[in-house]
Structure 1
Amino acid sequence: MTRYEYVIVGGGMIADAAVKGIRELDRDGAVLVLGDDPEEPYTRPALSKLLWTDPSFTEDKVPLGTADAEIRTGATVSAIDPEGKTVTVEGPSTGSGGTGETLEYGALLIATGGSPKTIDLPAGDRVVYFRTFADYRHLRELAAERPHVAVVGGSYIGTEIAAALVQNDVRVTLVVPDDTLREKVFPRPLAETFQRWFEDAGVEIVTGTKVTGGTETADGVTLELDSGGTLEADAVVLGLGIEPNTALAEAAGLAVDDGVVVDEHLRTSNPSVYAAGDVASYPDALLGRRRIEHVDLARKMGRAAGRQMVGDEAPFTYTPYFYSMVFGHRYEAVGDLDSRLDTVEAWAEPGAKGTVYYLDGDAVKGVLLWGNSSDAEPDARDGAREVLADPTGWTREQLAERTLV
C-alpha cells in the first residue's frame, strides 16, 4: 500500500495554501493532493471579478501553480478511515485503473469545500450554478452572444456576477428575495446606494421575489417565481450560497455541525485528521465558533493547517476579513454584518468612505469598511479587529470618531 506523509482531500485554494504551510516545516515528506475538479488549484475570486473587469488579468493567471506536491485531478475520495489512517480514491487518476485505490497517510486534511445550493432547476447548457473555473468558461461562452441573463441571488456571487455581466454588454435581470439589495447586511441608506449602482449600470432588479424552479429548453429558460408568475431569459446564473461537503467526514465518524468541527489547532475529533476552509467549523479567537466562506480565510487557514499537519502547535487565532467589489466600489468587513443590529457610523467622506460599527447592546459584533481601497494597507482591518477584541470597551461617541478608512 502506497503511503504519503500528508494527504489533502480537496484541490482548491486551501490545498495550495496547505502545501505551502507543509513545505515551510518539511521539505521532504510526500504530499498528495486529491481534487475532484479537473483543474489544479486556482484562485476562485477571480472567476466573478477580475476575469470580467480587468483585461490584464487573463485566464493563464488563474492557476495557482501549486508546487512541491503530487496533484491528482478528477479524483473522487470515496472513504476515509481515521483509525486505519487510510483513504480510498476512485477515478481515472488512481493507480488501479479507476476501480479504487487505498492509500495510507500520516496526517490528512479535509478541504472539500462546498457545493452550490440548488432549486428545482437542473444545471444545463443554459443554467449555471456558478462555482468553478469550468462554470466561468461556460458563462463566458454564453455571454459572448450578448444574451439576456437572469441572475438569481443577491449575495456576494449573485451581485458580483450581475455586475460582471452587465459590464460586458449583457442584458441582466437580477432576482432577489429582499426589497433592497443587501438590505439584510447594510444600513438602509447604504443598501439603497448599493442598489443604485446596479440600476445606473443598466441591471434590471426584481426585488421581493424568490425563484422556486424553472424549465430549460433549447432556446432559453423559464423561471417560476413565488408570486406565481414567470421570467423568461436566454440563460440563468444561480448564486444561492453553498452547502458544506461534509459527507466524507460524517461517514468517517468525525464530528460535524454545520461543517466539520475542529479545535483551535484545526484538528477534527480524530487527531490525525484536520479540516479547513469552507467546510470547517472553527473557534474564531475574536468571534466565536463559525464557518466562513471566503478567500482570506482559505489562505490563512490553509497555511496554518499545513503547518499543524507537520507538528506546529501554535493555535489558529487569525480573524479573517471579507471583501467584494462591484463597479469599482469596494467594501470590506470583519465580524458579523446584520442590519437588524444597532449601528454607529464614522465617515471620512459621507456615503463614500467610512466605517460602520454593528452593535448588540454595548458590544461591537461587526465592522464594515466602506470604500476601503484594494491597495490599502491592512491598518483598517487591524483597527476593526482591535475593536472586536474588546467589544464592550468602546463608547458610541468613541466609535463615531474612529474612522478606519
Structure 2
Amino acid sequence: MIIGGGMAGDAAAKAIRCADARGSILLIGSDPEPSVTRPALSKKLWTDPEFGFEKVWLNTTDEISAELVTSDPTTMINLKAHTVDTASGARVGYEKLLLATGGQPHRLDFPDDDRVIYFRTVTDYRKLRELAEKDRHLLVVGSGFIGTELACALLLNDTRVTLAYPEDLVNESVFPRELAQQVTRMFTENGVNLSQGTTIESGSIEDGQLLIGDGMDAEFRVDGVVVGLGISPSTELAQAAGLTVDNGIVVDETLVSSDPEVFAAGDVANHPDRLLGRRRVEHVDNANEMGSRAGANMAGPLEPHTHTPYFYSVLFGTRYAAVGRLDSSLEMVQDWAEDRSRGVVYYLSDAGEVSGVLLWNVEDQTDAARKVIADSQTGALGHEQLTGRIPLGD
C-alpha cells in the first residue's frame, strides 16, 4: 500500500511491479487527480507551447495494473493491525506500507477565495490559468523556487505580475550577492514589478478585489494572489500512529521508518544522505529516486538508498541546477566565464568541505558536482583546486 498520489508514490509503485509481477498494489491519494509530473505545473505548461497538458499524467495504474483511489484522504494507520482507514469509511489491510504524503503549503491570513492560490496541485494550476489573463494583475508572494518560476510564467503569459519578498534581492539567501543582483535585474528588465523588503501578513476583499498588505506600508489591490512559501511535511498520520517524526518521518538508509513494515519517501522523508548527512529534500529528483528505492525495498531485499539528489529551476530561459546546500551565508568559491553567462559556485561548510554546488547555465555536470562534494570530504580536494574543477562548457 502507498499513501500519497505524487511522484514518489508513482515511482515506488513502478519499482514494486518490476520486483513483483503479481502482487497487489494500492495507491491512496487525497487529491482528485492521479499522479502528475509536478515540475511541469510551474515550468513547461507555461513556457513550452508544444508541451500539452496530456503529458503531465504519469499513468501509473494503466501501466502496472495497480489500483488508484483518489479524493479519499487516509485518516488513521493502525501499525499493530496493519490496517489503514480512509475518509470514505474504508478499512484496508497491508503487508508493506509506504508513506509518500508530501507536504502542505505554508498559508497566510488570507480570505477563503478561489483567487487565493497556494500553488501545489493540478487544481491550483487550473485556477491560476483561469486568472492569468491579459491586463489582470496578480501578486506572487515569495521568491523561492515556486515563486520565481510562477512570476516568470505569468509574465510570459501576458499577465501583470508583482513579486513580493522580504529580502533586498531575488534569491539573496541562496545565491552570491553578485548573482542575486543579476537575477533581480533579470526580473525587472523582463517587466516584473518587485516589492522588495515586503513580508505579506494578511489580506481581505474590498469592492470585489483582493486587498493584500504587509501590516505596514505595502498594500496591493490585485485580481489574484499565488503563494509560494514552501511546505511543511505532512507527518500527522505518521505521528498519530506512533512513528518517529523529526522534520519529517525519520527513516534509516533503507528508507524504513521506526516500524519495520513502514517506509517513507519523497518530501516527507528525513533520511541519511551518504554525502550530506541527515536531511529532508523537496525536489523531483529526490522523489523519483527515493520512491524507486523504497518500492524495490518493499518488494525485495533491503538495500541502502545512496542517491544524492539534484534540483533545478528555469528563469526566463536561464537554467540552473544544484546539488547539496545553497546558503549565501557560507563561504563560497566562484568560477565564472568571462561574460558571467555561466559559472559554478562552491559552497563551503564551516569545516571547509564542499556542502553545495550551483551550476549556472552549466549542463550535465550534476555527477561532477557530487564527486566534488565527495572528494572534498576525503581531503582529496583543497579549496585552491576548486576553480576549473567542473568544466563550464561553451
State the match for 2:272 in structure 1: 283
2:357 to 367, 370, 383: 367
Mapped partners of 2:250, 2:328: distance in 1: 28
Aligned partner of 1:212: which letter? E
| d(CA) in 2 for partners of 1:9, 1:247 | 13
- Percentage of identical aligned residues: 51
Displacement of 1:228 in angstroms is 3.9
Q: Which amino acid aligns with 1:242?
A: I
Q: C-alpha distance in 1, partners of 2:75/2:390?
A: 50
Unaligned runs of 5+ in 2: none
Q: Is the CA contact 1:346–1:402 (under 8 Å) kept in the aligned structure 2? A: no
Aligned length: 386
1:132 is displaced (CA, Å) by 0.5
Match of 1:86 among 71, 83, 88: 83
Deviations 1:96-145 (A, max 9, x none): xxxx1211101000011001101111341211111100110111011135
Paired residues of 2:137 and 2:223 also in contact (CA < 8 A): yes
Offset of 1:188 from its aligned partner? 0.5
Large movers: runs of 4+ above 4 Å: none
Query: Distance between the aligned counterparts of 1:327 and 1:123, measured in 2?
Result: 31
Q: 1:90 Cα deviation (Å)?
A: 2.0
Residue in 2 that maps onto 1:11: 5
Q: Is 2:297 the partner of 1:303? A: no
CA distance in 2, matches of 1:290, 1:218: 46
For 1:141, give the aligned amino acid: E
User: Do the aligned partners of 2:376 and 2:382 also contact (CA within 8 Å) in 1?
Assistant: no
Matches within 5 A, 1:168-187: 168-187=157-176
In the TM superposition, what is the alpha-carbon distance from 1:218 to its structure 2 partner?
6.2
| 1:41-190 superposed matches below 5 A | 41-66=35-60, 67-68=63-64, 69-91=66-88, 100-190=89-179
One-letter amino acid matched to 2:389: R
- In angstroms, what is the RMSD of aligned CA positions? 1.3
1:300-339 equivalences under 5 Å are: 300-339=289-328
> CA-to-partner distance for each residue in 1:319-344, whole Å, 9 max, x for gaps?
00010001000011101111111111
Alignment of 1:222-233 (within 5 A): 222-233=211-222
Opposite residue 364 of structure 1, the aligned amino acid is: V
Equivalent position of 2:28 in the other structure:
34
Aligned match of 2:374: 389
State how far apart, in whole Å, the 2-side matches of 1:37 and 1:217 are: 31
Residue in 1 that maps onto 2:387: 400
Q: Name the SS for the 1:237 alignment partner.
A: strand
In the alignment, the residues of structure 2 paired with residue 218 and residue 50 of structure 1 have an alpha-carbon distance, to the nearest angstrom, of: 35
When residues 123 and 162 of structure 1 are mapped into structure 2, their CA distance, relative to the original with a 3 A threshold, is farther
The CA distance in 2 between the partners of 1:82 and 1:146, in whole Å, is 54
Superposed displacement of residue 404, structure 1: 3.6
Unpaired runs of 5+ residues, structure 1, are: 1-6, 92-99
- One-letter amino acid matched to 2:4: G
- By how many angstroms is 1:229 displaced? 3.5
Deviation at 1:146, TM superposition (A): 3.7
Q: For residue 165 of structure 2, what is the amino acid of its counterpart? A: V
- Kindly indicate whether residue 341 of structure 2 is the aligned counterpart of residue 352 of structure 1: yes
Bigger mean CA offset, 143-152 vs 19-28: 143-152
Q: Give SS of 2:252's match.
A: coil
- Change in CA separation of 1:247 and 1:332 when aligned onto 2, cut-off 3 Å: same
Question: Given the two structures, how large is their TM-score scaled by the length of structure 1?
Answer: 0.93
DSSP 3-state at the match of 1:391: helix
- The offset of 1:217, in angstroms, is 4.6
Q: After alignment, is 225-234 or 289-298 more displaced?
A: 225-234
Provide Cα deviations, 1:134-185, integer angstroms capped at 9, x if missing partner. Answer: 1101110111354100100000000000000001110000000100000110
Using the alignment, how far apart are the partners of 2:356 and 2:90 within structure 1?
A: 46
Three-state SS of the structure 2 residue aligned to 1:400 is coil
Q: Deviations over 1:313-369 (max 9, x none)?
A: 210010000100010000111011111111111224541112110112421111000
Measured in 2, the distance between the counterparts of 1:156 and 1:250 equals 28
Q: Does the residue aligned with 2:386 lie in a helix, a strand or coil?
A: helix
